[in-house]
Chain A
Amino acid sequence: NAGVTQTPKFRVLKTGQSMTLLCAQDMNHEYMYWYRQDPGMGLRLIHYSVGEGTTAKGEVPDGYNVSRLKKQNFLLGLESAAPSQTSVYFCASNKGGLDTQYFGPGTRLTVL
């Protein structure tokens, strides 16, 4: 099992460009999450999904959109990137409830 994988690992964007981060899990988990990690801030929840076809806003959703068209994939989109979105992005998944969240290795995004 690969667990949770994230594509790409690194990316540099210019202000105003768009991109999509892909998260894939092979554990048949219902719940998936997108977090961002910034220095001194810990991990903050951007959006999450409780099942295929569902999405919900987390703590810091502005500037991001998500889609969960397939159970195993959770996409995070930036329509018009801003320097404030420079961060490390982590995807996670779990069965739901208080089950342990399993994290991917992260995507380091820099917006110039």
Chain B
Amino acid sequence: DQQVKQNSPSLSVQEGRISILNCDYTNSMFDYFLWYKKYPAEGPTFLISISSIKDKNEDGRFTVFLNKSAKHLSLHIVPSQPGDSAVYFCAAGLSGSARQLTFGSGTQLTVLP
């Protein structure tokens, strides 16, 4: 039973437009959420995070939104660039736990020039 789900395996977006990647979770105890980006043949790299006390966090072109009542978070990339083409993983964790993260299955984003 996956506690963190990314229901869209892939997403294609035109360069300059907005990319919206979605993630749902089932464990209401999760209080910290992250997005990682992964290029082929490389390890994942941290992108942005949000704690459950906030509903939005912004870092340049990347914004993460958290809707706790819906157990849903999303990553917005504006404007999208071809270099953003990668697999995006969302992850969730418990701040008071043994620092284990639960990852979603990933969404392959392709930004078309």
Q: Which residues of A contact B (CB under 8 A)?
A: 4, 31, 35, 40-45, 48, 50, 56, 58-59, 90, 92, 94, 96-98, 100-106
Q: With contacts defined as CB atoms under 8 Å apart, how many contacts are there between chain A and chain B in the complex?
A: 59
B contact set with A: CB distance below 8 Å: 2, 4, 6, 9, 32, 34, 36, 41-46, 49, 89, 91, 93, 95, 98-106
B100 touches A105 (CB 8 A): no
B2: A residues at CB distance < 8 A: 42
Is the pair A103, B89 in contact by a Cβ cutoff of 8 Å?
A: no
Does B4 lie within 8 Å of A42, measured CB to CB?
yes
Closest CB-CB distance, A8 to chain B, in whole Å? Answer: 14
Query: Which single member of B4, B43, B104, B105 contacts A105 (CB below 8 Å)?
Result: B43
Q: Which residues on B sit within 8 Å (CB–CB) of A98?
A: 32, 49, 93, 95, 99
Nearest-Cβ distance from residue B67 to partner chain A, whole angstroms:
21
Contact across chains for B105 and A96 when beta carbons are under 8 A apart:
no
27 inter-chain pairs at a CB distance below 8 angstroms, sorted by A residue, are: A42-B4, A42-B6, A42-B103, A42-B105, A42-B106, A43-B44, A44-B103, A45-B100, A45-B101, A48-B99, A48-B100, A56-B98, A90-B43, A90-B44, A94-B99, A96-B99, A97-B99, A98-B49, A98-B95, A100-B49, A101-B46, A103-B36, A103-B43, A103-B44, A103-B45, A105-B41, A106-B43
Determine if A58 and B43 form an interchain contact, defined as CB atoms under 8 angstroms apart: no
Q: Contact check: which of A31, A43, A101, A105 meets B42 at CB < 8 Å? A: A105
Measured CA separation A75–B6 after assembly (Å): 31
Compute how far the CA of A31 lies from the CA of B102 in the bound complex, rounded to whole angstroms.
16
CA distance A48 to B101 in the complex (A): 11
Q: In the complex the two chains form, what is the Cα distance from A40 to B6 in whole Å?
A: 10
For B101, give its contact among A4, A40, A41, A101 (CB under 8 Å). Answer: A101
Determine whether the beta carbon of A43 is less than 8 Å from that of B99: no
